[in-house]
Structure 1
Amino acid sequence: MQTPRPKTRRTFIKNAALGLTAASVLPRTFAKESPQPDMSLSYQDLPQWRGFNFLDFFVPNPAHARVKTPEEHFKWMRDWGFDFVRIPMAYPYFLDIDYSKDITPEEVYKFSEEKIAHVDRIVEAANKYGLHVSLNLHRAPGYCINAGFQEPYNLWKDQDALDAFCHHWELWAKRYKGISPDLISFDLLNEPSLREDMNDQHGKREAVPAETYHRVAKAAVDRIRSIAPNHLIVADGNSGGHVAVPELADLKIGQSCRGYWPFNISHHKAPWVYKDPTGLPPPKWPDGPEANREALIKFYQPWFDLKESGVGVHCGECGCYKETPHDVFLSWFGDVLSVLAERGIGFGLWEMTGDFGFLNSGRSDVDYEDWYGYKLDRKLLNLLQSV
């Protein structure tokens, strides 16, 4: 009789995951599953979607999450002419864990069906009004561009992290494979970069080596396509989302850029960027030959080249923190949106409601209108509708 091989730690985790997720990974049963179209959305020519990020699941701990987005917001979106909802998600939100302690590799697989069902609500509400939903792992096992949570491993270096990353995407693919690709897609990982200390808010934003990013992306793409082969998959730009990645072209996925350049305009006095924002000079736009519309075109040229090569491009995040003077923000952002729109590239404002949005932004230099109890920045809304 052959002596059984001892179980490795990785085998234990995988086997534990199968028991913990047997119910969770089953497809969501909707009232009526949408039929699969003959052709999926083309990764080579993404729609010029226009819309917003919704941050319901942005933080790891549900106790610190925002109030859930009311369904009427999606109706307003549709009525205003928008069609795109991006949902940046922190994977620990959906786990059954003690958030007061550092997460363990075993707990990364401990899904909560009750919490996962929260996503069903927002997906169904957005789809009800014909809005396309892009599910994004903002925090994935082993990586997040934000601090505030201790990861048990490193996605770019550790196979255990990559196994968990693919397992999470398997869950979402199984859950939503019955929804038409016209209504849902998968955005692999928010703003990849190398950071020596992923829990240091001011850690490095160096580009992930192309071969490393390709290896991680391919593993997740292969897992998703084994379940939902017709659904669009998108990868964010390298170095924090800003750098086009032609090395991923063979994966036949779209790519997502960012609308945060120049950073001193988009994130002026943002407290998570500047430890001491006092003394920062007020931003201007335009501001000389290195900060004007032509400079924007130069900055985005690699993305335009990528699009010309046959890889669809969308700007998944963009906008401006509330401390930038409103007139400077509108002047700059109008150029950003028009430069992208002229190349058929749509956008997702970082949020509709909040510091980057046009509802309840908290800007001190805006003449707000009342909108069903919200403070509406009509000038920003008009700008967004004009492109």
Structure 2
Amino acid sequence: MTRRTFLRNVGLATVAHVVGCTKVIPELAALTANSVNSNTESKSGKNKLPKWKGFNIPDYFQPDPWYEIKHTPEEYFKWVADWGFDFIRMPVAYPTYLNISPKKQFISAEDVYKIDENKVEQIEKTIYLAQKYNLHVSLNLHRAPGYCVSTGYNEPYNLWNDKSAQDAFCHHWSFWAKRFKNISTGKISFDLVNEPCYRENINDTKSKTTAVPGTLYHNVAKAATEAIRKENRNFYVIAEANNGYAAPELADLNIGQSCRGYYPYEISHYKAPWVYPDPAYQPTPLWPGNMGGRYYDRAAMEEYYKPWLNLVKQGVGVHCGECGCWKQTPHDVFLAWFGDVLDILTGNGIGFALWELKGDFGMLNSNRSDVQYENWYGHKLDKKLLKLLQSK
């Protein structure tokens, strides 16, 4: 799998369950007036999250046990900063820092707590390399105890159903928050769990999915947020879209939310083999244009993002944690569409992170057949894409 299984048809689910950590954390004191997550700001429509702009660095994101971690060299972070960006999202599969066999697919409840200091230090090193170049790092659990949107894993429990999974989830976030408790909140934030959804069988991505109830998602996010802010009450905490949709049910938690820049998927994931098993039946991408019996244009895009813009107006911080386009989409169509995506986001104060810096969705070595690349220290640079990103 070149990238994690995409959430095209993922729903979330109906479950009734009260969640929380084993140790109940008291309600947080009111945040200071200048807190990065303060609710004391007027709901003027100004985004409460910074307009971070940058890239995903997926060194540690892959949940598949066969995945070989390749650490991003330091010069990549220097290039990102030199190009004028200020943000790195770092998705992490938690087994990558456990003291277990790297080939172990079936993780036990006991394994989940076996944190390996040496592996943690490798992740820290990558974070500090980014921060060395004044890049804010958003640490995300792409695979969390009891949940992952992707294949290639087997969890001992379900994050949404089982208190033991929720306790482990809080434990991991408490661990990371303690690790960085004395780091400036301008340098690090915590993105709770990648693309939450619900499956009756958490280990089978082909099983039926339904919507996670707002109350359930609220309680899981609240418990983890309290675990994090017990260490530093001013930390940025970000919750991901509920099945791709804005989650107004989380609005009272004093946390941000993360949307995606992949709509419509007929453009962003054209011929992506893990999304469309048979590429022959995909409509040719156009922008604007008719695809799959529906007309897509900027107006349709603006309608799609309305719920996110409404969150901003309500005083909830919003950031686009992933965006971009698979290599098979014609480059001119990609840039025309992506320009509108970024216009809508950044025009409303919402920053973004391209998936990814290097690779088939990226700006370096994207393997597109219709791009005239520039040589960049031995890499192939998509200069048109760089200029588009810099212009926003």
Q: Which range, TM-score by smaller chain? A: 0.7 to 0.9
Is the 8 Å Cα contact of residues 351 and 357 (structure 1) preserved in structure 2?
A: yes
SS of residue in 2 equivalent to 1:134: strand
Please give the alpha-carbon distance, in whole angstroms, between the structure 2 residues aligned to 1:336 and 1:169: 32
**How far has the Cα of 1:64 moved from its partner?**
1.7
Name which one, 1 or 2, has greater alpha-carbon Rg. 1
The AA in structure 2 aligned to 1:55 is P
**How far has the Cα of 1:123 moved from its partner?**
1.1
Larger RCO (CA under 8 A, 6+ residues apart): 2
Superimposed CA distance per residue, residues 87-119 of structure 1 (whole angstroms, 9 cap, x where no aligned partner):
000011111113335110010101111111111
Is the 8 Å Cα contact of residues 139 and 190 (structure 2) preserved in structure 1?
A: yes
**How far has the Cα of 1:84 moved from its partner?**
0.5
Superimposed CA distance per residue, residues 298-339 of structure 1 (whole angstroms, 9 cap, x where no aligned partner):
000000001000001110111111111111111110100001
Superimposed CA distance per residue, residues 330-383 of structure 1 (whole angstroms, 9 cap, x where no aligned partner):
111010000111101010111100011010001111111110000011111111
Q: Which of 285, 288, 293 is residue 287 of structure 2 equivalent to?
A: 285
SS of residue in 1 equivalent to 2:90: strand
Q: Which of 36, 57, 78 is residue 75 of structure 1 equivalent to?
A: 78
The AA in structure 2 aligned to 1:261 is Y
Q: Which of 302, 307, 315 is residue 320 of structure 2 equivalent to?
A: 315
Please give the alpha-carbon distance, in whole angstroms, between the structure 1 residues aligned to 2:56 and 2:189: 14
Tell me which residue corresponds to 1:229: 233
The AA in structure 2 aligned to 1:324 is T
**How far has the Cα of 1:204 moved from its partner?**
4.8
Please give the alpha-carbon distance, in whole angstroms, between the structure 1 residues aligned to 2:391 and 2:217: 36
Change (3 A) 1:205 1:385: farther
RMSD: 1.7
Change (3 A) 1:340 1:365: same
Tell me which residue corresponds to 2:56: 53
TM-score, normalization: structure 2? 0.86
Tell me which residue corresponds to 2:384: 379
SS of residue in 1 equivalent to 2:281: coil
Q: Which of 250, 258, 261 is residue 260 of structure 2 equivalent to?
A: 258
Please give the alpha-carbon distance, in whole angstroms, between the structure 2 residues aligned to 1:192 and 1:234: 13
Please give the alpha-carbon distance, in whole angstroms, between the structure 2 residues aligned to 1:269 and 1:197: 28
Please give the alpha-carbon distance, in whole angstroms, between the structure 2 residues aligned to 1:85 and 1:323: 25
Q: Which of 148, 153, 157 is residue 157 of structure 2 equivalent to?
A: 153
**How far has the Cα of 1:284 moved from its partner?**
1.1
SS of residue in 1 equivalent to 2:54: strand
Matches within 5 A, 1:133-144: 133-144=137-148
Change (3 A) 1:201 1:101: closer
Please give the alpha-carbon distance, in whole angstroms, between the structure 2 residues aligned to 1:138 and 1:230: 23
Is the 8 Å Cα contact of residues 61 and 142 (structure 2) preserved in structure 1?
A: yes
TM-score, normalization: structure 1? 0.87
Is 1:41 the counterpart of 2:47? The answer is no
Matches within 5 A, 1:67-106: 67-98=70-101, 99-106=103-110
Superimposed CA distance per residue, residues 104-159 of structure 1 (whole angstroms, 9 cap, x where no aligned partner):
00101011111111111111111111110000001000111111101111100000
Please give the alpha-carbon distance, in whole angstroms, between the structure 1 residues aligned to 2:296 and 2:208: 24
**How far has the Cα of 1:199 moved from its partner?**
3.6
SS of residue in 2 equivalent to 1:88: strand
Tell me which residue corresponds to 1:170: 174
Matches within 5 A, 1:204-353: 204=208, 206-239=210-243, 242-288=244-290, 290-353=295-358
Please give the alpha-carbon distance, in whole angstroms, between the structure 2 residues aligned to 1:199 and 1:271: 21
Matches within 5 A, 1:122-137: 122-137=126-141
> Could you tell which deviates more after superposition, 111-120 or 289-298?
289-298
Change (3 A) 1:101 1:190: closer
Tell me which residue corresponds to 2:9: none
Please give the alpha-carbon distance, in whole angstroms, between the structure 2 residues aligned to 1:62 and 1:69: 20
SS of residue in 1 equivalent to 2:364: coil
Gaps of 5+ in 2: 1-21, 23-31, 39-46
Q: Percent identity among equivalent residues?
A: 58
Gaps of 5+ in 1: 1-13, 15-36
The AA in structure 2 aligned to 1:228 is N
The AA in structure 1 aligned to 2:96 is Y
**How far has the Cα of 1:270 moved from its partner?**
1.1
Superimposed CA distance per residue, residues 46-93 of structure 1 (whole angstroms, 9 cap, x where no aligned partner):
111100010110123676234211111111111101000000000111
Change (3 A) 1:204 1:74: farther
Is the 8 Å Cα contact of residues 265 and 320 (structure 1) preserved in structure 2?
A: yes
The AA in structure 2 aligned to 1:110 is K
Structure that is richer in helix per residue: 1
**How far has the Cα of 1:205 moved from its partner?**
5.2
